[in-house]
Amino acid sequence: MNFRFTGKQKTLALGVYPAVSLAKARKRRDEARELLAEGIDPGKAKRDDKQAKIAAAAFTFETVARTWLGKTAANRAESTQEKNTAWLERNIFPFIGSMPISDIKPKDVLAALSKIEARGAIESAHKIKQICGQVFRFGVATGLAERDVTADLRGALSAVPKAHYAAITEPKQAGELMRSIHAYTGHPYAVAALKLSPLLFVRPGELRSAVWMEIDLDAAEWRIPGEKMKMKIDHLVPLSTQAVEILRDMQAMTGHGKYVFPSIRTGERCMSENTVNAALRSMGYSKEVMTGHGFRAMARTIMDEVLGERIDLIEHQLAHAVKDPNGRAYNRTAHLPARREMMQRWSNYLDKLRMGADVLSLRAAN
């Protein structure tokens, strides 16, 4: 097609026959004339479109996802960063990682997520869908994607089954568990983490990612920064004398590094998320009986129903949202002396259970 633009004679190639039919050539000619009528050079528009497609092909989902992971790393705990990266590498990149992010359709993401769902990992499928959505939204913000296609997948995955973490909440069984823990002869790091789990009853991810800079053994305090916490608020854990003793033993082994519980393979990462649960399994406690997270329920139930501790102190120590009488959230040091005494009483009680002292059953519900 010959045309003039800004006084210059130009030629636009519409395609090669027979790959481009006469009808298709006429359609492209008409589109070019519409551009000319709007004062746009159809030749330049064609070149720009070609360059845009080449650029889009270079920005694959994996490329954009890794850029997003790097730019947002400071917003999440290191252990979460590692988990999110591993999830994408194992479950998403093999299927849509090489596709230009602008070309990906909802069905492409769903196909990858359905494979996770088929393994029975329904909760993981939902979490990975959320991560993909964040990648797409980053792509939209940077002009690499038109929209977050995961928004179209609402209701496409099975609902996450409601389940509570298995936990031992009867004092007698808790005493048996404590004896099993103190008889456990696994790796020293796992032994220490296992012993601290019932004493501190923090979330498993918070325990395994603990760093020495957060812990003051002389003051008997562990200050967990908000970015590691589920509620994103700084949390203070008073350390009983039993907990301090365990941590001093660990300091002799790992105090020269960053993590209290480093990976056995490399000190650059913290302990695996499966370590405590694997230790419980090796001790004969199935996942239907006790989990690492279950130490929280064990502490909450027994401290409330057997020891009669104040429920607001227990909830505060569990890092749950607790409001003062005026509806304001307590700060991390609220009721610290009382919480310190409560944590020491709890450690002493666990020692008594372990040594076979008389125990009280849970109070019957009114």
Active site residues: 203, 230, 293, 296, 320, 330
**Residue 238 phi, psi (nearest 5):** -65, 140
Closest CA to 265 of 187, 340, 348: 187
Rounded Cα distance between 270 and 263, Å, is 5
Q: Which residue has the tokens 């080449």?
A: 54
- Tell me if residue 198 falls in helix, strand or coil: helix
Cβ neighbors of 234 (< 8 A, separation 6 or more) are 223, 224, 225, 226, 332
Give Cα 329 to chain centroid, integer Å.
24
Residue 323 β-bridge partners: 329
* Contact (CB, 8 A) for 261 and 308: no
Closest CA to 122 of 166, 165, 162, 161: 161
Biggest CA pair distance of the chain: 102
Residue 59 identity (one-letter amino acid)? F
With helix as H, strand as E and coil as C, how does 333-348 read?
A: CCCHHHHHHHHHHHHH
With helix as H, strand as E and coil as C, how does 73-125 read?
A: HHHCCHHHHHHHHHHHHHHCHHHHCCCEHHHCCHHHHHHHHHHHHHCCCHHHH
Strands 215-216 and 221-224, bridge-based pairing: antiparallel
